Amino acid sequence: MKSGVADHGDALLWDIASPRRPSRVPGVSMAGFGDRGITPPDLRLIPHPAVTLVLVFDGSIALRDPTGRQHRGSFAMGPGFGEVVRALRVDAFDCLQVRLSPTVAHTVLGPAAADLDNSVVLLDDLLGRETSRLCEQLNALPSWDDRFAWTDAWLAGRCATAARVHPEVAWAWQRMVADRGMGRIEQLAAELGWSRKRLWSRFQSQVGLSPKRAAKLIRFDHAVHDLVAGLSPAAVAADCGYTDQSHLHRDVMTYTGLTPATVINEPFLAVDDVAWGWPRSRAK
């Protein structure tokens, strides 16, 4: 197990654990988080081009979703949920966070994964009683290595028996990721031999985002992490294919409610290099 501590200013917020090896399921990454008792209230959660599962097996996390409703317990977040999702309160939690490529999420969670766009739902609503069983098992295991291995086996088991997205949709997603969200949708459709309308319909129904919104989110994800890494807004705008700095500013504001100058201080972004090995584990 690799481990580290997220640093926000002078405050150490979380103990972080990472698996020793990649998941056996392509498009899956995991990290463990332990609260140190000083997580700030009203913590902004930053969108990522993945479906995120948060299995809270000790303590609790209370969230406010985009509708203003509050939830407490293990939860799932769709990609592109915007700056309105906040962790309002945490109580000495331990949790295992799983990031699923949207194409893998369709297999693990079923068609309901495509309905998670711009939303947060309790895992009970997706997995039923299995959520409690998962969290009880994670709490009973003695180490993070054991928790990662057990969760990976559970994910692999679900993927072995469930329906997968159409191969063309999976290819389109992978191509968007490889192009960092800067490719043309019309070109993707042409390479598949599909019409733009057909690609749009199939992709939206299985991924939960339109191709255009998926590409926009992938590009934002690269841009915001380049900002955190210390690149100037001008350099990021040019490198990530934005028309100009104003275009970058609008995207960052849309997804986070912050400016490029202030988003770099967000704890949820600061942990990525520790928890996810950024930039090695960008969306896959």
CA pair distance 169, 245, nearest whole angstrom = 32
- C-alpha distances out from residue 56 to 8, 11, 22, 70, 123, Å: 22, 23, 22, 16, 10
Q: pTM of the prediction?
A: 0.88
Query: Is residue 111 a contact partner of residue 163, using CB atoms and an 8 Å limit?
Result: no
Which amino acid is residue 31, in one-letter code?
Answer: A
Which amino acid is residue 268, in one-letter code?
Answer: F
Report whether the peptide linkage leading into residue 267 is cis, meaning its omega lies within 30 degrees of zero.
no
Beta pairing partners, 55: 96
pLDDT of residue 80: 72
Residue 149 parent element (H or E)? helix 144-161
pLDDT of residue 13: 74
Backbone angles phi, psi at 241, to 5 degrees: 80, 20
CA pair distance 45, 134, nearest whole angstrom = 23
Query: Is residue 55 a contact partner of residue 93, using CB atoms and an 8 Å limit?
Result: no
CATH numbers and ranges of domains, the chain: 2-161 (2.60.120.10), 167-275 (1.10.10.60)
pLDDT of residue 276: 63
Let me know the angle formed at the C-alpha of 3 by 34 and 127, rounded to the nearest 5 degrees: 50
Beta strands in the chain (DSSP E): 2-8, 11-18, 28-35, 43-44, 51-64, 70-72, 75-77, 86-100, 120-122
At 210, list the tokens: 């339109």
Which residues in the chain show pLDDT less than 70?
1-12, 81-85, 88, 118, 271-284
Region at 203 (left for phi over 0; alpha for psi -120 to 50; beta for the rest):
alpha
Backbone angles phi, psi at 153, to 5 degrees: -65, -40
At 56, list the tokens: 């809270």
**Torsion angle of alpha carbons 74, 107, 279, 60, nearest 10°?**
0
CA pair distance 52, 137, nearest whole angstrom = 19
- Is residue 16 classed as helix, strand or coil in its secondary structure? strand
Interacting residues of 193 by C-beta distance below 8 A, sequence separation 6+:
none
Residue 249 parent element (H or E)? helix 245-256
- C-alpha distances out from residue 240 to 69, 215, 244, 253, Å: 35, 11, 10, 16
Interacting residues of 149 by C-beta distance below 8 A, sequence separation 6+:
none
